[in-house]
Structure 1
């Protein structure tokens, strides 16, 4: 099952002091505006991309509850550049 939001920034709890066994807390960003790839046409084998404040989330449209992976802006930009450059063509 997909979480409605993803961690965007982790930090150690202020109650942990200098200890190494600490609790970390994070800010969460909601995934918004899921959309199907424009290259998917009308087929069922589609990729959907969701907006995040710090990047993008990607999931399989056939299994929306199966989870997704998250990229930051730099990773997403590098991936898009590689796709546009044809580096994934067979």
Structure 2
């Protein structure tokens, strides 16, 4: 994955976030992080940047008062265990 593609996709996600489309921004950041990991390795700094942006977008969405979604960013219904969300939570705690 080349730097230009990463920059473009980060800008797309950032634009969605700026427009208040937090769920879409979270989806874009999450997919970018996974794609970077697949291409560059699990702990690539740019993948971690994408996942940090994902967490910020989720937080902004929660603070905005938007209605809670019926599924997580991995499209798993709320109330159902999601391995992807658990992995993101674990990653966030290891970065502190």
TM-score range, shorter chain: under 0.3
User: Structure 1 or 2: larger strand share?
Assistant: 1
User: Structure 1 or 2: larger helix share?
Assistant: 2
Larger radius of gyration: 1
Which TM-score applies when normalising by structure 2? 0.24
Which TM-score applies when normalising by structure 1? 0.25
